[in-house]
Structure 1
Amino acid sequence: MKTKSKKTKRKLNRKKILKRRIIASVFLTGLIALYCLACFMLEDNVIWKNVTVNGIALKGLTKKAAAGALAEDFKEKYADTSLSVQLNGQAYPINISSVLDFDSSKELKDAYTLGHRHWLMRGIDWILAHTLYKENRKIDAYPYAKQTDKITEAISASGLPEHDPASETTWELTDTALAVHKGQKTASADFEKLKELIISAIKKHDYSSAIECPLTEKEPVGIDFSKIQEEVCQEKQNATLDKENNYAVIPSKDGISFDASAAQSSYDACEPGGQFEVPLTIDKAEITTEDMNANLFQAELGSYSTKGGGSAGRKTNIDLAVKSCNGVILLPGETFSYNDVLGERTADRGYQPAGAYSEGEVVEQLGGGICQVSSTLFAALLQTNLEIVTRSSHSMPVSYLPMGMDAAVSWGGPEFKFKNNLTYPIKISAAYSDGTITFKILGAKADARKIEVEVKKTGELSAETYRKYYDANGNVTETKRVAKSNYKPLKR
């Protein structure tokens, strides 16, 4: 009986223990369920931690709203932040607002983590928020120097760079000399070191203490007289005309030069802060702009007229040739080519058949008559001092000019050229009116001597043409042979 009773008691105890375990399990499961439900219900996107950053309470704000509030607060507080820099007793406020930036990401991350970890941690975080983190925590966050490259701009804007600058060597050009002021060593603000001090003040969040501007001795930059020569020295240039710009006047330039080695010696001998002058060598232009404007084409250097009649075709050819020559301008040194100016005489260009010399006879040729135009031009040129480069007489004497004053021209054959060997440009004025061909050579009268043309017959069909130069008293000062002419009789 006793053995049976003990077995019954053990059985009852096991039932009680099991019952208690079941109750505990149910209770624990309920608690877990309630905790999970609470964690689920606590989901939100606002800051739980009771924290204040720069006076802005973040609790209850979304992360975005908190960031916006802190950014706005930074703008208001640091919109006009300046550091005072002292130099020789004078204060220079340097506005560093553009240099500063604010980063609240670390503070926001720390504040937002509570309640926004794994969702099963929300219950624990809620308890922590109402116990351990119940008391308000105040945090001061400061800006940092982000745009350090703008510090130099801020220093410049303060006016500091203009204070006590190094005395540099300067020079200027006067009418007669190169005036040089030699620089000297001076104490000047050391902007690189000042930049470092400004960054250090920002790191320390010290915007109230004045910064004593660091100084550095600055040597003046040397001077290169060879480079100055390249800049100011120039060759003499007479006034002339611009062919590419409708022959507008190109102004004259006086030649300017100086001795660079002598200038360097004067510089080396000069005391710092002293002045000296380097004499200029001025080579005056022979023809100034004023001279050109006053004298251009104002003088008639020579002129000649011949009667140019004949057939209608010959008159047409003369008219075309005269028009080609009229208005031609030659600059000093340029050469006039009659064939180049007229071009090839073709029917397409309007030239017609007319009488011309060939093999001792008069034959019909395209362009017949143009030799009277070249001859009239040559006759006008004989009265000038222009250089005759190439000229040929006709094979037979011509009726419109004396022997020795004609100039034969043919395409691919005899050519007529002259050169402007004068100092001024010349212009050809040519006209064909009422059967008369007239050439005038216009220029500037540079030679006061009078020129007369003299033709000396050296034989029945030969001649030499001379220019005779007379002074103001009528005395012959020079005689130059210009051309030789040899003719053959006209075949009958």
Structure 2
Amino acid sequence: MKPIKRSRWRLAAGITYYRMKRYGEWLFGRKRYAKIIAKDLFAHVHFRHQTPLLRQLKDVEMWMQHNKVTNLQLAIQKLDGVLIQPSETFSYWKLIGKPTKSKGYLPGMLLSHGRVTAGIGGGLCQLSNLLFWMTIHTPLTVTERHRHSYDVFPDANRTQPFGSGATCFYNYMDLQIKNETKQSYQLHLYLTDTHLVGEWRAQMPATRRYRIIEKEHVIEPSIWGGYERKNQLYRQVYSLNGEWLQEEWVTDNFAKLMYEPLLPESMQS
């Protein structure tokens, strides 16, 4: 679809409307939200993943990334140890709250309409990206996830398929995860000197393993100018002894490229 350009006032009004709508859902909706924090860790790690804290990105000053580390530390304090009991829903923003200067959050990197800018609490998308990737490797169900509308940086050193993250913006672009299993899960998050690390833990060991694969990946010219990138993510489910069980659709992705892709010769002519 052709990108829609809206005025600053229209954008501000839209943000206010959707934020109020989210507050109403939190207060009056029927979901049971996860809120219990347990200090003692569950015994069994179902999935663990880590991502580097600092990356040299084109046209991004490193002070933004150093501030991001502070922002991640503050958000982790609200999420580490949280339990998702059966039938409960984890809400990323309901637990973290609004990142503000008074809470200690610093200006960090934000992506706005495909452009890199700085804003209070910037960099928390790294945490929502990690949580989404971890969750699709467990029996937990992602019930709300927002894809990145722009692909800002090329694939250098990419280790996961395109579109395997989840963008976030307080509070209406939320990441929500429901526990539709019969046992509780616990989120464990921490920082090392070099990485953001996360784990989904449970009291019983895992009975399945998951592998995320990409299908129908294309980069093609857009009729509105520039290039578009699309793909589909699926997960393959295996038993612990490696037996293939089934394949499940995860999500469709679509993004506008903000860089010049390396195209095959047939598309360069």
Write the letter of the residue equivalent to 2:173: P
Find the counterpart in structure 1 of residue 263 from structure 2. none
Is the 8 Å Cα contact of residues 303 and 381 (structure 1) preserved in structure 2? no
| 1:308 maps to 2:76 | no
Which sections of structure 2, spanning at least 5 residues, go unmatched?
A: 1-34, 55-61, 220-228, 261-269
Aligned equivalents of 1:388 and 1:338: distance in 2?
Answer: 12
Is the 8 Å Cα contact of residues 306 and 437 (structure 1) preserved in structure 2? yes
Does the C-alpha gap of structure 1 residues 370 and 472 become closer, same or farther in structure 2, counting only changes over 3 Å?
Answer: closer
What is the number of equivalent residue pairs in this alignment?
202
| 1:451 maps to 2:207 | no
Q: Deviations over 1:344-401 (max 9, x none)?
A: 1111111111111101111111111000011011111121111010011112236675
Is the 8 Å Cα contact of residues 360 and 491 (structure 1) preserved in structure 2? no
Is the 8 Å Cα contact of residues 99 and 105 (structure 2) preserved in structure 1? yes
Does the C-alpha gap of structure 1 residues 472 and 377 become closer, same or farther in structure 2, counting only changes over 3 Å?
Answer: closer
Q: CA deviation at 1:317?
A: 1.2
Please state whether the residue corresponding to 1:411 is helix, strand or coil.
Answer: coil
Find the counterpart in structure 2 of residue 411 from structure 1. 170
Q: CA deviation at 1:406?
A: 0.7
Does the C-alpha gap of structure 1 residues 398 and 481 become closer, same or farther in structure 2, counting only changes over 3 Å?
Answer: farther
Q: CA deviation at 1:457?
A: 4.6
Aligned equivalents of 1:412 and 1:325: distance in 2?
Answer: 16
TM-score computed with the length of structure 1 as normaliser: 0.38
Q: CA deviation at 1:437?
A: 0.5
Find the counterpart in structure 1 of residue 127 from structure 2. 373
Q: CA deviation at 1:480?
A: 0.9
Q: CA deviation at 1:247?
A: 6.3
Shifted more, 401-410 versus 381-390: the winner is: 401-410
Find the counterpart in structure 2 of residue 482 from structure 1. 250
- Which of structures 1 and 2 has the bigger CA Rg? 1
Find the counterpart in structure 2 of residue 428 from structure 1. 187
Write the letter of the residue equivalent to 2:122: G
Find the counterpart in structure 2 of residue 282 from structure 1. none
Aligned equivalents of 2:244 and 2:100: distance in 1?
Answer: 46
Is the 8 Å Cα contact of residues 114 and 151 (structure 2) preserved in structure 1? no
Write the letter of the residue equivalent to 2:249: R
Write the letter of the residue equivalent to 1:304: H
Is the 8 Å Cα contact of residues 303 and 383 (structure 1) preserved in structure 2? no
Please state whether the residue corresponding to 2:90 is helix, strand or coil.
Answer: strand
Find the counterpart in structure 2 of residue 391 from structure 1. 145
Does the C-alpha gap of structure 1 residues 326 and 457 become closer, same or farther in structure 2, counting only changes over 3 Å?
Answer: farther
Does the C-alpha gap of structure 1 residues 407 and 398 become closer, same or farther in structure 2, counting only changes over 3 Å?
Answer: farther
Find the counterpart in structure 1 of residue 235 from structure 2. 467
| 1:297 maps to 2:42 | yes
Is the 8 Å Cα contact of residues 131 and 198 (structure 2) preserved in structure 1? yes
Aligned equivalents of 1:470 and 1:453: distance in 2?
Answer: 11
Q: CA deviation at 1:413?
A: 3.6
Is the 8 Å Cα contact of residues 307 and 435 (structure 1) preserved in structure 2? yes
Is the 8 Å Cα contact of residues 301 and 440 (structure 1) preserved in structure 2? yes
Aligned equivalents of 2:204 and 2:163: distance in 1?
Answer: 26
Q: Deviations over 1:286-314 (max 9, x none)?
A: xxxxxxxxxx8221111111012242322
Aligned equivalents of 1:398 and 1:377: distance in 2?
Answer: 20
State which of 184, 187, 199 in structure 2 corresponds to 1:440: 199
Please state whether the residue corresponding to 1:388 is helix, strand or coil.
Answer: strand
Aligned equivalents of 1:391 and 1:350: distance in 2?
Answer: 27
Which structure is higher in strand share?
Answer: 2
| 1:328 maps to 2:82 | yes
Write the letter of the residue equivalent to 1:417: Q
TM-score computed with the length of structure 2 as normaliser: 0.68
Find the counterpart in structure 2 of residue 350 from structure 1. 104
Q: CA deviation at 1:438?
A: 0.6
Aligned equivalents of 1:418 and 1:328: distance in 2?
Answer: 12
Mapping 1:80-479, distance limit 5 Å: 297-309=42-54, 310-311=62-63, 312-397=66-151, 402-445=161-204, 448-460=207-219, 461-472=229-240, 474-479=242-247
**CA RMSD of superposed structures (Å):** 2.5
Is the 8 Å Cα contact of residues 398 and 406 (structure 1) preserved in structure 2? no
Write the letter of the residue equivalent to 1:378: F
Aligned equivalents of 2:53 and 2:129: distance in 1?
Answer: 11
Aligned equivalents of 2:216 and 2:194: distance in 1?
Answer: 29
Does the C-alpha gap of structure 1 residues 457 and 404 become closer, same or farther in structure 2, counting only changes over 3 Å?
Answer: farther
Shifted more, 429-438 versus 310-319: the winner is: 310-319
Find the counterpart in structure 1 of residue 57 from structure 2. none
Write the letter of the residue equivalent to 1:341: L
Write the letter of the residue equivalent to 1:431: Y
Which sections of structure 1, spanning at least 5 residues, go unmatched?
A: 1-242, 249-295
Please state whether the residue corresponding to 1:318 is helix, strand or coil.
Answer: helix
Does the C-alpha gap of structure 1 residues 484 and 372 become closer, same or farther in structure 2, counting only changes over 3 Å?
Answer: same
Is the 8 Å Cα contact of residues 152 and 258 (structure 2) preserved in structure 1? no
Aligned equivalents of 1:467 and 1:444: distance in 2?
Answer: 24
Aligned equivalents of 2:161 and 2:244: distance in 1?
Answer: 23
Name the % identity. 26
Aligned equivalents of 2:142 and 2:233: distance in 1?
Answer: 12
